[in-house]
Structure 1
C-alpha cells in the first residue's frame, strides 16, 4: 500500500497555523547573567524579586534549627510555651564540602535580622556568599526577640522601633549630606543615592524590624542559647555588626573555649553610654551598659559584684571628630575570660564610629584584652560608612576579615 501524503496546500496551511499559534505563546526574557545585566534589566532593589532576575548569591545547601529555649506557663491558653529559642540557619557550600576548620556565626545589628548577611540592598553578593565560596560553614542567626526567634511577651521582650528612614539616611547611607561629623564628607561607598525615594535605599529600610527594649533579658537568653549553639557546632569565629557585638562579648565571657575569634564590624558596645542617631552632639548620649560593655554581669578581676564597683573616669576631650569616652579609674579591673579570645574591630573611615570606636578599643586594652583595630582608611580602603558590609566594596572588606581569621589560626 502506498503511504498517503498530505496535499501540499494542506501542509502549507498547517504550517501557517502552527507559526501563528507559536507566535501567540508568552515569551520570557533570559535571566541576566551578571550584575551589570541585572542593573540594565531593572533588577536592582525590590525589583529583584521578579522571577527573571538571576540571584547573585552563591549556591548552598540550607537547613534551619531552633536552639535553646525554655518552657513558661501560658496564663491564657494553659499549658506551656517555648521561649528564648534562637533561630539558626546553617549554610553549607553546594559542593557539600566544608574546607575550613572553623565555622562562622553571624550576628546582625539592631533593627535588622540575619538576612542582612545574605545579599546587599542592590542585590549583590553578601558576606555569606563570600565565605561559602571559600569553603566555610556559615551560620546566620536571628537574635532572641528578633525576626524568627522568640518574640513572646511572656519572655519579657517588649518591642520598640528599630530605626527611622531619617536616622538611616543621616547615620548610615548619606551622612555626607548633613555633615554631622567631619569624616562624613569622605563617604562614597553606599550604592545609590542613600536618600528616601532611591530604590536601593527603599530596599534597605524596608528590612528594618522592631527590636527589644529589654536588653538585659535578651543578653541572658543569648548567653544560654549562644553557648548551646557553639557546643553543638564546635569552636567558631563570631562575626557581628553594631549592637550585635554585645553577644560575642557575652559568649567570650561565658564560654570562651568555644569562641575561636571575635570579629566586630563597627561594634556598638561603647562603655557605659550609647550614642543615638549620628552621634553629632553631646545630647545624643544616653547611659547604657552599666557593666562597661554589657547590660548583664561579666567577669572582672578583681571581681565586681555590682556595676557601682566599676569606678569611672571621663575623658574630657570631646569634638565632633573625636568623641569623649568613659573608662575605668586606675587600677582598672581586668576581663580575664574575654581576654582568652582574639578580638578585632573594623571601622569605616566615613562612619560615625570613626569618632568614637576608640572608646571600645581603649576600654578593652585597659582591661587586659589583646585587641586588633583595623581602621579601613589606614589600609587604603576608603569611603565606608556604618553598614560597610553592604557597601560597594563589601567583598574587599570581607577579604580583610578572612586574612585576620587566617592570621589568628596560625597563632
Structure 2
C-alpha cells in the first residue's frame, strides 16, 4: 500500500467486488417459487431487471412467459421473457407502453397462476404509467423537478407513486387473485420495499397528503392538473391489509450492506482494516463529503476513531441540489467536496461510484481521488471550488483522467464510497 497506483487498484477492486456481490445470477436461484399449477408470468422493471430475467430463465426448469423493462443499454438476451428498453432517469414513450403492456399481461389471472416480479432501482422511471388526467409529459416534468429539488429518494418516490397507475401496490392489485412473488434488489437507504422502484407490488403507508407536503417542503412547481390529481382520492395508493395483496410475498435478494461487506473482504485480504460506517447515508452530497473528510482527518491526525491502515466504507444515496450548469453526478460531487475538505492530506485516497455504472445521467460510474488531485487540477488551471459550485464533478475528474467507467453493471445497490487511509510514511 505504499504507492498511489496500488491504492487506486485496491479501491477499484473493492468497487468491482461490491458490484459482483449484487449480480442477479448469484442472488436469484435461492428465491424462486415452486412451480404453480397454472402459468408462471415473469414481469419486472429496473436497471437489473433484464439480468434478473436471464437468471430466472437459467434456473427455472419449466415453461414461463413474461415482459420486463430495463434502461437503454442494459438488455440481456432471454429466450422466453421479452426484454424492453426505455429511458432513465426521465421516462419516455417506450417505458409508458411497456408499463401498460405489463398491466395487460397480468389481467385475468387465476388463483392457480403465479406472478414473479423482478424489481430493481430505476423502476420508477421505467414504469411511468400515469393516472387518468395526467400525460407522459406531466410525468416527465415531475421527474425533472424532483431530480433538481434536493428531495431524498424516499420523498421523490412518495410523490411518484401517488401519480402512478401501476406503482404504490397497484401492480400487485392488478394481479389478484394470482400469487405474487416479488424479488427486490435494493437501491434505497433503509431497503424499504415501498421505495424500491416506488413499490409497484407492495403496500404503501404514505398518503396523498404526505406527497403534497413534500411538494410544498421543497417548493416544487408542478402543473395545476398534476396538483389536482395529487389531491384527489384517485391518487391514493394501495394500503396494508388490502385483500388484493393477500397472496403477495416480498424478498430482498441483494442490498447495499451485502455489497459493502463484499468490498470489506477485499480490503481485509489486502491487510487493510475495513469499517462500514453505514449503508443508508443520505444528505447533500457536498455536505456528506465534508463530514467524511472530517472523520478521515481525525484518523490521520489522531489515530481516532480508527488506526491506519484502514478504509472507511459507506453506502446510501446522497442528493444534489442543482446550482450550476455542470455535468453533475452525486458521487463525483461527494468526491470533489471530500477532496476540497481534505486539501491534499497525505495518504488519503478515495473512490465513489454508483453501482449501476451511471452517476447522474453520464455513462460514468464515478471517480477516484488521490492526495495530489487538487494540485494536478490547479496545474491545469482548474479551480476545484469553481467546479463544485457549478456541479461539475464529472468535468473535473474527467479532465484529470480519474473517472471510473464500468459500463452497464446490470445491477444496482446504490452508491459506493470508500476512503482509504494509509499508514504514515516514516
TM interval, shorter chain, is: under 0.3
More helix per residue: 2
The TM-score, its normalising length taken from structure 2, stands at: 0.26
The TM-score, its normalising length taken from structure 1, stands at: 0.26
Q: Which has the higher contact order (CA 8 A, sep 6+)?
A: 2
